[in-house]
Amino acid sequence: MNTEITGIIVTFILTILLAYPLGKYIAKLYSGQKTWLDFMKPVERSIYKFTGINPGQAMNWKEFLKAMLTINMLWLVYAFFMFLYQAHLPLNPDGNPNMTADLSFNTAISFVVNCNLQDYSGESGVTYLTQLFVITFLQFVSAATGIACLIALFNGLKEKTTNNLGNFWQIFTVTITRLLIPLCIVVAILLAFNGSPASFDGKDTITNLQGDTIQVSRGPAAGMIAIKHIGTNGGGWFGANSTHPLENPNYFTNIVEIIAQTLIPIAMIFALGFYIKRKKFAYVIFGVMTLGVLLLLIPTVITEIHGNPLLTKMGITQLTGAMEGKELRFGPAASGYWSILTTVISTGSVNSMHDSSMPLSGLMQMLGMLVNGFYGGCGVGILNYFIYIIIAVFISGLMVGRTPEFMGHKVEAREVKIAALVTLLSAFIIKGGTALAAYYFVNHGDANWAVKPSAWLNNPNYHGFSEMLYQYTSSNANNGSGFEGLADNNPFWNITTGFAMILGRFIPIIGPIAIIGLMANKKYVPESAGTLKVDSITFGMMTFAVIIIVTALSYFPPLVLGPIAEYFSIH
Amino acid sequence: MAKDQSNKLFEPALVKEALKQSFVKLNPRIMLRNPVMFTVEIGTAIMLAVCIWIAGGEKSQGHLGYNVAIFLILLLTVLFANFAEAIAEARGKAQANSLRKTREETPAKWIQAVGDMYVNEMKIVPSSQLKKGDIFLCETGDMIPMDGEIIWGIATIDESAITGESAPVIRESGGDKSSVTGGTKVLSDKIKVRVTTEPGESFLDKMIALVEGASRQKTPNEIALTILLASFTLIFLIVCVTLKPFADYANTPLTVAALVSLYVCLIPTTIGGLLSAIGIAGMDRALRANVITKSGKAVETAGDLDVLLLDKTGTITIGNRKATNFYPANGIDEKLFIETSVLSSLADETPEGKSIVELGKLNPSYFDTNNSTFIKFTAETRSSGMDMADGTKVRKGAFDSIRNMVVKAGNPFPAETEERVRLIASNGGTPLVVSRNNQALGVIELQDIIKPGIQERFERLRKMGVKTVMVTGDNPLTAKFIAEKAGVDDYIAEAKPEDKMNYIKKEQQSGKLVAMMGDGTNDAPALAQADVGVAMNSGTAAAKEAGNMVDLDNDPTKLIEIVEIGKQLLMTRGTLTTFSIANDVAKYFAIVPALFIVSIPGLQSLNIMYLKSAESAILSAVIFNAIIIPILIPLALKGVAYKPIGASALLRRNLLIYGLGGLIAPFIGIKLIDMLLSLFM
């Protein structure tokens, strides 16, 4: 078999082999059992003491969300002002400027919501201080927020009837001290030893073989690159993200980084099984998600390996596949694999330019983000999937002639309403945003803005449409990757995607937590032979069908006008 | 057979009425109750405006004929949906009316009250003037004018008008069989009846009001489904609204007709149009099973039931126990024993006694009973029999009472008979010991006869996930035996009314939904406590008031049918929703390439149905979307068949039929319509 293909298969199997024990560990960690990282307990105790947190205090779903939203709001304000005044603050050896208000608005939201859409370039747009104490800090806390919210869902599923979804502060703290930091230390060390910089010095100057002098940006990058993947954030230290030779030096680091970003999302699925003691349920979810990923992955890898049909028509053989926008050290298969995983999971880091992917790959990448629940981001992936489960439970419950139930709790009008709202919101943000952009591009192309709408798109036509669609899809999914080629650092894009990101983050978190809070409060209904088993393959396929149908029906027309039209135009 | 069915579904008179109602229901205020179809009506109005616009000279919207065609098809879509609801209403009303017709304007013999006293004067008044609390008299041959409760007397009544059962029933004051229904006929004797309902408020009247929609409340699942459908509708609204700027970007002019057609095709009109018809049909099916439901919710709850409380007698066993075997003691001549047994039962009027005579197969005239004294059964002696003219004393009775008698007289009690007695009891039977002149001759076995086929019905219920509980006054040993033999999951032996209540509460505490059937006043609290309480029509007014369904047939096995009706109701909604949504895939493939084919020729590859032209593609899709509603009306009215094969298997089956079917059917349908259209276009 092709070495490139073997490479991605090995990577995938390795990820699962690591995720399984990690899932076991996560389940132990949150159910308060003994773990080998318990030596961090004194640190946690001093944090509780210092901040006045009572870690044993029970929280219902409203209290839980209140705590989560309050602290996130605080971080948002903090980040906004730090970016706005970063030039005047210390740790700025390259003398980078302040951000404009709209860019600061966009960037602050982007990192608070774990999206990491970057309308700036890391080398010139931020300082070491904001890189470390705003961006890296937010990469930790936003990942921990997502995980904490998922644990609240687990708690609601675990008990027959309960009001208590756990204490947000306590879950949040142990997530950082005993999950994220230890994993990041391992990854950061691996990266640093492979050449990622970990230095506070400013730009370095080298002379290349041709005798030209080149300024090379550096910085304490290894740690941030670790959390950007472990926390499924995706925001790179350098503008070129993980295509940059210092951010992702070789094939080994490429494997480390791709495993790092897939690790927690998959481990969380296994953790669900261990934690609520329904392993089969977790395996079915894992199976459905993996099926989804494979269906996106296989066509992508095949297309990329086969190269660009336009070049083939010109009689050019492409033995190495479609190489435009790809790094020679990774090749089309590993790049295709990364591009699908980074989009199904809400990381959004890139090791190739998605703008240059074949149209079919671009379609698959967008579908990954539109579904946003095949593995999905840290914690939020399963929360998104939960919404699909609720819709599937509702429809299939009716189909077997029984008021729909999920794990012993009736799914009624209120739960359906919330799930429907969450689904509706994505459709509204993505299509509404793209429609707005298309409207301005067509009708007000010459508007006297910072960047004229007519100058937004590097590649007008179908591909340009995909660029706009991708930008809103990525923002709503809190993915953060970009179909570059879009002039996005201007008020229109900064502000609209800012709102897309913040709504696309919090509504899909509030929704599932509210649903589980309401359901866990209801009387427990024991299972009978007439109850639909949610841990069956049949139900798994039902959920899969709901995901496919809902996504296809919601987004078919824009996808036809973007990547699908482009596909047919070159085939 | 199939033809018969459809004839019954669409009786011409009902269809005529429903057609009229389809137009009446176009009133936007009525349409608003159904958000999905309401938006289709708005779309229709928009198309009408567009047609007028084009007639006024507008050139950008395609030719007039095409637009008018779209307008007419959309109008038809709305009318079809209205027709579905109207025909369901008409059928329900017709069914209820046929029950009500029997009681219209019968003369009533009203007994006037003077203060608290009732004088013996009668006045003939029309039944419609009777109010709740009035007393009337019915004699042989009279039609009972109103629902009521017998306060004096006993009568045989022909209830065939309501139940279809021709055998007359006995109703009397005081007991649990004191209720009479308007429209039934007194065959003998005389009763005084107190009216229990105000005119227009009988269960049937309430039922008719429910069907007519005036007081029809949406059930919880219906509300949840409406929300889901509304959100799908909104998603598709967003799809269509945003398509305009997308098309502008792609330099493609879109006509209003195309956008409105796409919208109407995508929104779940199929289930939206049939939703209320399905709900009404559920109540109607209950009514056809001769069950009056007080709310649609009760039918829906029935589908969720976890536990059924069933009375043993009449439900699980046939009426009363019967003699099945004679076991003479050692050394006793079998013929003598049988003779004695029959003799002891000759005067016994109880069903048990009669069954002994039957089993003995001896002609009563064979015995000489002149000058004999019949000894009646009393609670003290717990035996009965006969003192013959020649001084012979024959007795039959409970084991211990006969044994006492035998032992007291100084005779031994045969050990093998005692053993047999124990054996019979442990097998769920009732032993009756027979003695002749204080000497034990042997034992007769009485057994409950379990209804044929009841085991299969319980098995079916078990597969549905419903637990069956037998309620009986028998001792635990007998109860256990019968429970095992009949295949019920649990039993309550030596049951008192409060035991039922406690059992229901216990099950409900663990989250289960419980149904029971009852008739007596002392059942009323339990009927009210149960999630589904089915009162027998023959039961007391209190019982009927407490339950949420009334069974006109007084048939205890009806609960099983009610569960299936409830499940059918939910399944019909679920499967048609799936079908409706799955249809959209094909409609996308028909319409989207059609919209953009001019500016993006590459999209011809998406026209996988090879539809002839953009206009014929759009027309085919909306036509398919419209006609699928009337095609599915019979299914909506009859309900999707329920098969107790376990939830997962059922889901697979329904997904295959309605999910995959819903995916494929429109591809075929739209292609066929397109081929047909291309003959004319």
Q: What is the pLDDT of residues B518-556, one digit of tens each?
A: 776 677 888 888 889 888 877 777 778 888 888 887 776
| Shortest Cα distance, chain B CAs vs residue A221, angstroms | 41
Q: What is the pLDDT of residue B1?
A: 30
Cβ contacts of B655 on chain A, cutoff 8 Å: 396, 399, 538, 541-542, 545
Cβ contacts of B659 on chain A, cutoff 8 Å: 545
How, if at all, do strands B179-180 and B148-158 pair? antiparallel
Q: What is the residue whose two structure tokens read 């004051």?
A: B173
Nearest to B227 among A403, A417, A549 (CB): A417
Q: What is the pLDDT of residue B117?
A: 61
For testing contact with chain B, the best of A400, A416, A496, A518 (most B CBs within 10 A): A400
Q: What is the mean pLDDT of residues B275-296?
A: 84
Q: What is the mean pLDDT of residues B483-507?
A: 86
One-letter amino acid for residue B678 of the chain:
S
pLDDT at B11 over 50: yes
- Which DSSP symbol is given to A197? -
List, in sequence order, the alpha helices (H) in B102-171: 160-163
* Contact flag B655-A416 (C-beta cutoff 8 Å): no
Q: What is the pLDDT of residue A551?
A: 94
Q: Is the pTM of this model over 0.90?
A: no
Residue B334 structure tokens:
């079998």
* Contact flag A530-B510 (C-beta cutoff 8 Å): no
Ranges of residues in chain A with a pLDDT under 70 are: 1
Q: How many Cβ contacts (< 8 angstroms) between chains A and B? A: 215
Q: What is the pLDDT of residue A6?
A: 92
pLDDT at B7 over 60: no
Query: Of B33, B36, B37, B50, nearest to B79 (Cα)?
Result: B37
Q: How far is CA B84 from CA B77, B89, B251, B277, B627, in A?
A: 11, 9, 41, 6, 12
pLDDT at B209 over 50: yes
- Which DSSP symbol is given to B184? -
List, in sequence order, the alpha helices (H) in A456-536: 461-476, 491-520
Q: What percentage of chain B exceeds 90 in pLDDT?
A: 23
CA distance B258 to A154: 46
Identify the burial level of A16 via C-beta atoms within 10 angstroms of its C-beta, where 0-12 means exposed, 13-18 middle and 19 or more buried.
Answer: middle
Q: What is the residue whose two structure tokens read 């609240």?
A: A152
A 10 A CB-CB count for A393 gives 25
- Give the pLDDT band (50/70/90) at residue B161: low
Starting at the earlier edge strand, list the strands of the sheet with B291-293. B291-293, B549-551, B532-536, B514-518, B307-311, B467-471, B490-492
A 10 A CB-CB count for B309 gives 26
Percentage helix, strand, coil for chain A under 3-state DSSP, each rounded to 5 = 65, 5, 30
B158 in active site: no
Q: Which of B142, B147, B284, B311 is catalytic?
A: B311
Residue B470 structure tokens:
């037998």
Percentage helix, strand, coil for chain B under 3-state DSSP, each rounded to 5 = 55, 15, 30
Map residue B486 onto helix, strand or coil: helix
CA distance B550 to B539: 9
Q: Any residues with CB less than 8 A from the CB of B74 and at least 6 apart, and which?
A: B40, B43, B44, B47, B260, B261, B264, B622, B626
* C-beta separation of B637 from B88 below 8 A: yes
Q: What is the mean pLDDT of residues B168-186?
A: 79
Nearest to B231 among A397, A424, A442 (CB): A424
Q: How many domains, chain A?
A: 1
> Residue B431's beta-bridge partner residues?
B445
Q: What is the mean pLDDT of residues B265-278?
A: 91
ipTM of the complex: 0.91
> Residue B136's beta-bridge partner residues?
B110, B193
Between the two ends of chain B, the Cα-to-Cα distance in Å is 39
Encode burial over A128-148: b for 16+ CB neighbours within 10 A, e otherwise: bebbbbbbbbbbbbbbbbbbb
The domain in which residue A528 lies consists of 2-570
CA distance A497 to A503: 10
